[in-house]
Amino acid sequence: MATNNDIPSIPLAERMRPHSFDGYVGQTHLVAPGAILRTMIDSGNIASFILWGPPGVGKTTLARIIANRLDRQFFSLSAVSSGVKDVREVIENAKNQRFFSQKAPILFIDEIHRFSKAQQDSLLGAVEDGTVVLVGATTENPSFEVISPLLSRCQVYVLKSLTLNDLRELLNRILQHDTYLKTRQFDIQETEALFRFSGGDARKLINIIDLLVKIYDKNDTIIVNNELVKNCLQENIALYDKNGEQHYDIISAFIKSMRGSDPNAAVYYLARMLAGGEDPLFIARRMVILASEDIGLANPNALLMANSCFDAVHKIGMPEARIILSQTAVYLATSPKSNAGYMAIENAAALVAKTGDLPVPLHLRNAPTKLMKELGYHKDYKYAHSFKDNFVDMEYLPEEIASTALYNPGDNQKENSIREMLRKLWGKYKY
């Protein structure tokens, strides 16, 4: 094993953090010359905005580059460790600077989706009157996680995972420009595993390189191939997870374990996420999605259970929330499965994309005016409750796609009974 006493104490990720757009990799749709965000920055008239994208795609770095380029003071808060008091202190500092005619500082809030409503409310006044320019970063959809008044005052820019070409460019920059690594010898034999495990995440790629360097003596040539990358990551899996680098890998395993009806694996990955500091509400939210996508009508109570879990976790918080999360994960894993509801909307969306805006049948249209009635709106509509069993055989789809079946019940006890009911009512659909 390597001694590597001469390895710099500053992490490679920090050493490689660019200070200008020249060293920034990826997000060309936002920061290339002429792109929408770059144009705003170049004009100097910057407004508050939120950067939404997966981890490791350069949200924090981009905020710092903007602050440097515009020569503005930069305040940084993490929603994980900061509260209303911290926000108010920054705002007060920003107000005091107005006496010196300085431009409004940039307030960067990482993981802004973890701020409570009260914490987000504390930002409104300062953002509204221009005391600060807010730059928020989030891995979650701002539409659901940022309060409407604040969201309406911010533009949202979507950052994408790094492409294969982006990762190649980043690797070359690391080897050519890092003050330490450019003094070392590298033998890049294969990059497939290196890029695959990076998963479009710049920080992952940098950390993998950092791990590889540390297993070699300072005079050795650092070999990079698929087998060495895999072995290196397996030996350092605890470190890799604790820092949240496998966020998407672990949540994927969690979801697939519940989908695969394995409660043991589900609670194992749940424990992994909680130990790594994952947001319990993120976990609960994903279970709400799974309850509908993978269980659906096979057990309608699953969605009620998952939604109740989300509400309870929101009210209670950790550490007790882990018990509710575990109970729900086990319930979902042991429930019968069906993706029929999910496939129904997928089939419908594909049909809409193919056929466009087909006219609604006249008998289904509302007729609030005399002219509409004369044109046949609502004519021949049959009110289902006026017929036996509250059902009448009538076409509800547009004529061009009449009798199209989009929902195919799953093979489970609940949906088998639904299938029989539909066959009795709609034999023409061939259920």
Residue 104: DSSP 8-state? P
Residues 6+ apart with CB under 8 A from 132: 75, 90, 91, 94, 104, 105, 106, 107, 126
Is the distance from CB of 138 to CB of 113 less than 8 angstroms?
A: yes
Largest distance between two CA atoms of the chain: 90
Residues 247-271: tens digit of each pLDDT: 677 888 999 999 999 999 999 999 9
Question: Which stretches in the chain have pLDDT values below 50?
Answer: 1-3, 237-245
Domains of the chain, CATH where assigned: 27-158 (3.40.50.300), 163-242 (1.10.8.60), 247-333 (1.20.272.10), 355-429 (no CATH)
Q: What is the rounded CA–CA span in Å between residue 5 and residue 337? A: 54
pLDDT confidence of residue 3: 47
Secondary structure of 68-102 in HEC code, one letter for each residue: HHHCCCEEEEECCCCCHHHHHHHHHHHHHHHHHCC
Residues 305-347: tens digit of each pLDDT: 999 999 999 888 888 889 999 999 999 999 999 999 999 999 9
pLDDT confidence of residue 306: 96
pLDDT confidence of residue 262: 92
- Give Cα 60 distance to the centre of its chain: 16
pLDDT confidence of residue 251: 87
The secondary element (H helix, E strand) that includes residue 223 is: strand 222-224
Q: What is the rounded CA–CA span in Å between residue 276 and residue 242? A: 5
Other Cβ atoms closer than 10 A to 308: 15
Strands 106-110 and 74-78, bridge-based pairing: parallel
pLDDT confidence of residue 60: 87
pLDDT confidence of residue 243: 43
Residue at 209: amino acid letter:
I
pLDDT confidence of residue 238: 43
